[in-house]
Each structure stands twice: as structure tokens, then as C-alpha cells.
């Protein structure tokens, strides 16, 4: 690993500052065209890690990325997530980790993304109604069949991560984490100890970063935006952190990517680190 890059699973190198595609609209046509432009611009700016999921439009977000970026650059990783499905009389989205559902969603993702293998496939959430061993075991089988390259988890505890690792190698964890939200600090520590990529979703606490006086002060010192400071802090926080900020606006995308060039001084780091101690 380097300051700019990380090898997911020990061999799949990506630039640490990635892009979350969840906010890219797939309709109407005018918004979709803008979303395609944003996705392409992210790759032009050097992004090599893009995150999507079956949940994002029931696969529509995956299709959008394929439309925008296929055939993919050799160094681009598009990771997707499975394990949430529409079910019940109201056809609502629910956690669903049954083996047949996971297999079906993986097959659909392969077709939508137009690939033969998903290099990193994440379990969107652990379904409490299905044994963890069945969920992770199914992903292991899909890996052994060549449909998945590496397996990741999302929104897990340290205990769940440990349990999953007894079944199969885990290459990545995607938990909520940011400068102002460090609930999953123990999971980050476990990932760092094991060399597992940690992909914080909601890496910026939306408007909260801009409303925080300490973050604003550091941003003013470094001629940056509060969002850029929040992302720069994540990159400095741990070498396994690979943030995936999302946006549907080109200007925000370019600002986010520029955060990789911001160097926090030790006093600035200390000032931001102390925000975790604020009640």
C-alpha cells in the first residue's frame, strides 16, 4: 500500500480516493446524460474504485455505469453489493441473504455490468433471517466458481467480521464512518490489523462538516472546503481507508478528488482528531 493506493485482497491495486455512484440519477434522460458525464469524468480524474449496488434502482445504477464506462479501463474496479431485495405484499426493499437470492443478484450484476467476474462483491447487509454461514458460504461458492474475485461485507461488527473470516477471506468492509461519525472505530481497527480495505460510506457528514467551527478553521488555513478537509482527514487517518464520496455534480466531484492533494499538518490533524472527544 502507498499513501495514494491500496491493494484490496493483497493484489488488486486501486487509488484510495474512490467514487460512490449511489447518487447518480438514471432518469429522466437529461439527468441520466449528466450522470454518464460525471461517471466518465471521475475516471478521467484518476478514480479507479467505483461503488454501486443492486439496491440502487434495482440494478439501474449498475446499467448506468456500464453505459458510461464499458469497455472498462484495465485498472478500474467497479464493486457492487447484493443482499437486499423487494419482497412481501408491499414489494418493499428488505434484507434478503438467502443463497438463491444472492446467486440471482450476482448473475444479474454480471450481465448489467457486462463482465465475466465481479472483482469485489460485497454483502450489502447481513440478513438476520438467514444464517451468516449460509450467506458468506454462498459468496465463497460463487468465488470458487469464478464469478467473484474477492468478497466484502457492509455494516458489520467486529464479531460478525471475525465470524465471516472463519468461513472465507474478507477483502473489504464498507461501514459508515467519517470525521464526525466514528461509531465503527473498532471495526476500522480490526481491518487495519488484518490489512482489510475499509470503505467508509457517508464519508462526509453532509452539512455537518460545513457547520463545524473546527473543520471550518482548518479549511480556511489550507484554502480548502470543509468537505475536502473531511476527506483529507480520512486519507490520513489510516492507510486501509478508501473513501467513496458520491455526488451527481461535476463541480463537487472535482473538489472531492482534489482532496487527495491536501496535506494536513500535525497540528491540524490533532485539532481534527480531538473532534471525536467532543460530546
C-alpha grid cell, residue 20: 460512490
The CA distance from 18 to 42, in Å, is 9
For the chain, what's the residue count?
279
Write down the catalytic residue from 56, 177, 201, 233. 56
- Which phi and psi angles does 72 have, rounded to 5°? -80, 145
CB 109 within 8 A of CB 62: yes
**What is the C-alpha separation between 25 and 30, in angstroms, rounded?**
10
**Rounded Cα gap, residues 31 and 65, in angstroms:** 14
177 catalytic per annotation: no
How many other β-carbons are positioned within 10 Å of the β-carbon of residue 172? Answer: 26
Cell numbers representing residue 112 in the block: 448489467
Question: Which residues are marked as active site?
Answer: 56
Amino acid at each position: 500500500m502507498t499513501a495514494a493506493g491500496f491493494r484490496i485482497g493483497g493484489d488488486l491495486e486501486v487509488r484510495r480516493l474512490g467514487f460512490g455512484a449511489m447518487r447518480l440519477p438514471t432518469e429522466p434522460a437529461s439527468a441520466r446524460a449528466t450522470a454518464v458525464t460525471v461517471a466518465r469524468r471521475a475516471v478521467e480524474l484518476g478514480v479507479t474504485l467505483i461503488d454501486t449496488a443492486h439496491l440502487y434502482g434495482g440494478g439501474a445504477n449498475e446499467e448506468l455505469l456500464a453505459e458510461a464506462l464499458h469497455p472498462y479501463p484495465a485498472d478500474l474496479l467497479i464493486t457492487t453489493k447484493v443482499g437486499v431485495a423487494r419482497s412481501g405484499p408491499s414489494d418493499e426493499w428488505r434484507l434478503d441473504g438467502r443463497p438463491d437470492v444472492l446467486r440471482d443478484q450476482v448473475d444479474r450484476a454480471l450481465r448489467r455490468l457486462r463482465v465475466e467476474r465481479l472483482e469485489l462483491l460485497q454483502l450489502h447487509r447481513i440478513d438476520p433471517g438467514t444464517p451468516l454461514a449460509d450467506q458468506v458460504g454462498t459468496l465463497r461458492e460463487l468465488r470458487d466458481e469464478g464469478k467473484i474475485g474477492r468478497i466484502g461485507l457492509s455494516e458489520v461488527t467486529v464479531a460478525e467480521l471475525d465470524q465471516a473470516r472463519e468461513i472465507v477471506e474478507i477483502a473489504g468492509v464498507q461501514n459508515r464512518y467519517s470525521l464526525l461519525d466514528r461509531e465503527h472505530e473498532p471495526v476500522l481497527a480490526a481491518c487495519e490489523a488484518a490489512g482489510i480495505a475499509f470503505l467508509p460510506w457517508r464519508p462526509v457528514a453532509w452539512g455537518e462538516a460545513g457547520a463545524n467551527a473546527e473543520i471550518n478553521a482548518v479549511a480556511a488555513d489550507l484554502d480548502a472546503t470543509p468537505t475536502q478537509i473531511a476527506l483529507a482527514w480520512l486519507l490520513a487517518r489510516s492507510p486501509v481507508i478508501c473513501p467513496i464520496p458520491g455526488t451527481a455534480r461535476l463541480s463537487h466531484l472535482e473538489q472531492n478528488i482534489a482532496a487527495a492533494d491536501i496535506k494536513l499538518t500535525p497540528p491540524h490533524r490533532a485539532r481534527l482528531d480531538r473532534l471525536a472527544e467532543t460530546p
